[in-house]
Amino acid sequence: MTPFGEAIRKLRERKGVSQKQMAEALNVSPAYLSALEHGKRGVPTFDLLQRIAGYFNIIWDEADDLFLIARFSDPRIVIDTSGLAAEYTTFANRLAGSIRHLDEATLAKLSEVLENAENADGKRS
């Protein structure tokens, strides 16, 4: 499951609606909504994100958070290391091969390293 899938499930449970009811209201298939929740589909379109925000009647700040979560929830990503030193390509490939085997503590440490690097560069994740 992706962070976006978890967020949608929590919103659905809070509203007390089924996937089928939500899918019908958003004019998507229940199978698509299920796949989206379970991380088997990529990031939804901006249009669908807006319809989801409207469906749950969430305020702009919460909608912005949902859109950011969606951006970081694509289950199939590509890391472009072209033009970078060989070490970057090696690292990206090692991470891709090892990510399923990382425990939560290691994942938290790597996330902290990334956050520190982004903050040092003045970038927002």
Same-domain status, 29 and 58:
yes
CB contact at 8 A, 26 and 52: yes
Residues in the chain: 125
- Res 124: pLDDT: 52
Q: How many CA atoms lie within 13 A of 42 on its CB side?
A: 5
Supply the range of the domain harboring residue 106.
Answer: 86-121
Residue 14 lies inside a defined structural domain of this protein: yes
First to last CA, the chain: 20
Residues 92 and 57 in one domain: no
Whether residue 77 is contained in a domain is answered as no
3-class SS of residue 125:
coil
The pLDDT assigned to 125 comes to: 45
List pLDDT tens digits, range 12-69: 999 999 999 999 999 999 999 999 989 888 888 999 999 999 999 998 888 899 998 8
* Across 3-7, 8-12, 69-73, 97-101, least confident range: 69-73
44: exposed, middle or buried (Cβ count in 10 Å: 0-12, 13-18, 19+): buried
Residue 76 lies in a domain: no
Is 55 among the domain residues?
yes
- Identify the pLDDT of residue 39: 85
Give pLDDT, residue 81: 93
| Residue 16 within any structural domain of the chain | yes
87-103: average pLDDT: 92
State the average pLDDT for the chain. 90
**In terms of Cα–Cα distance, which of 88, 84, 104, 85 is closest to 96?**
88
**Which stretch of 13-17, 47-51, 73-77, 91-95 has the lowest confidence by average pLDDT?**
73-77
Pair 67, 90 in one domain: no
